[in-house]
Amino acid sequence: MSLGTIFADLSHFGLIRFSGDEAQQFLNGQLSCDVNSLEPLHARYGSYSTPKGRMLASFLLWREAGVFFMQLPASVREATQKRLAMYILRSKVKAEDASGAHVMFGVAGKDARAILTPLFAELPAEPLALTSADGACLLRLSADRYQIIASPERAPALRNAVARDAAPVGPAVWDWLDIRAGIPFITPATQDQFVPQMANLDAIGGVSFNKGCYPGQEIVARMHYLGRLKQRMYLASVAADEAPQPGDKLYSADTGEQSCGMIVNAAAAPDGGFDMLAVMQIESAQRGEVHWKSPDGPRLKFSDLPYKF
């Protein structure tokens, strides 16, 4: 379903800024993605896990010169920053909350490019690339979806210019676009639940299997090389009056009273009902009969993700 061209406030995301001579080395030793190969003005998805390989956060990481920005839900920003800071020790790295120093909003739809062209000297040429000038960055997420990261001084003029031709929507609509794109974000309800591959981080470039060690790397690598992955993330919808929530359990006939999976993210769909990303037993998903909250609860309807795994 097309929403037209929209723009959304993204203040429900937080930002952590990593700087210092050893920031790249430090992050590469903590995160699932390959930070060493991340070029300036490019972004990459990734995750941060416990030593047992369970994700505490998933994020979008981008690089501007020697500085790195990690975007993740504001609800897990502080805890993630504090935990990472514990391991900085004497490294030449500084981790700081950059949320208040930047204003972020998204622009999406068929006219997004036309709206943004007069506002930026150059638009990113490919997905997950950025351009930067005059106190603002423009990040291209996909063919027709962009994110603006601006200084508080520059943001009002950009927002007013975008608002002339794009309809304002709430952040839940932007979350729905992430869901339809198959991009998961870990929240407090789903921390310490999934190995990165279960939430398809490997399918969106968020896991490197040939870089050095990081927390949980042994578990992640074992699942990859030995083929023991029994759960994956799927895109589904449900017709319900009540909104599904991250952490809600799912059930199927093949698992009986035992849960077969869990909702990662959910949002209201423009044409009714709710769309969700849910991690579940692969066998249950293949059978196609999965129910929300109880074995006889509303049945999920599956849709194709925009990528393969």
Stated pTM of the model: 0.96
Same domain for 62 and 152, yes or no, is yes
Q: What is the pLDDT of residues 1-50, one digit of tens each?
A: 567 999 999 999 999 999 999 999 999 999 999 999 999 999 999 999 99
Same domain for 241 and 174, yes or no, is no
pLDDT value of residue 2: 62
Same domain for 141 and 252, yes or no, is no
C-alpha distances (whole Å) from 114 to each of 4, 35, 120, 272 are 13, 32, 11, 29
Question: What is the Cα–Cα distance from 139 to 122, expressed in whole angstroms?
Answer: 11
Q: Could you tell me what percent of the chain has a pLDDT over 70?
A: 99
Domain end marker among 118, 152, 180? 180
Q: What is the pLDDT of residues 229-244, one digit of tens each?
A: 999 999 999 999 999 9
Q: What is the pLDDT of residues 231-278, one digit of tens each?
A: 999 999 999 999 999 999 999 988 889 999 999 999 999 999 999 999
Kindly report the number of other CB atoms within 10 A of residue 160's CB atom: 9
Domain end marker among 165, 180, 195? 180
Question: What is the Cα–Cα distance from 71 to 58, expressed in whole angstroms?
Answer: 9
CATH code of the domain in which 254 resides: 2.40.30.160
Kindly report the number of other CB atoms within 10 A of residue 130's CB atom: 20
pLDDT value of residue 3: 77
CATH code of the domain in which 46 resides: 3.30.1360.120
- The residues near 301 (Cβ < 8 Å, ≥ 6 apart) are 236, 237, 238
pLDDT confidence bin for 189, thresholds 50/70/90:
very high
Domain count, the chain: 2
* Position 215 pLDDT exceeds 80: yes
Does residue 114 sit within a domain? Answer: yes
Q: What is the pLDDT of residues 55-82, one digit of tens each?
A: 999 999 999 988 999 999 999 999 999 9
pLDDT value of residue 164: 96
Does residue 212 sit within a domain? Answer: no
Domain holding 285, by residue range, is 230-303
Mean per-residue pLDDT, 294-309? 96
Q: Could you tell me what percent of the chain has a pLDDT over 90?
A: 91
Does residue 192 sit within a domain? Answer: no
Does residue 71 sit within a domain? Answer: yes
Does residue 108 sit within a domain? Answer: yes
Same domain for 28 and 174, yes or no, is yes
Same domain for 175 and 237, yes or no, is no
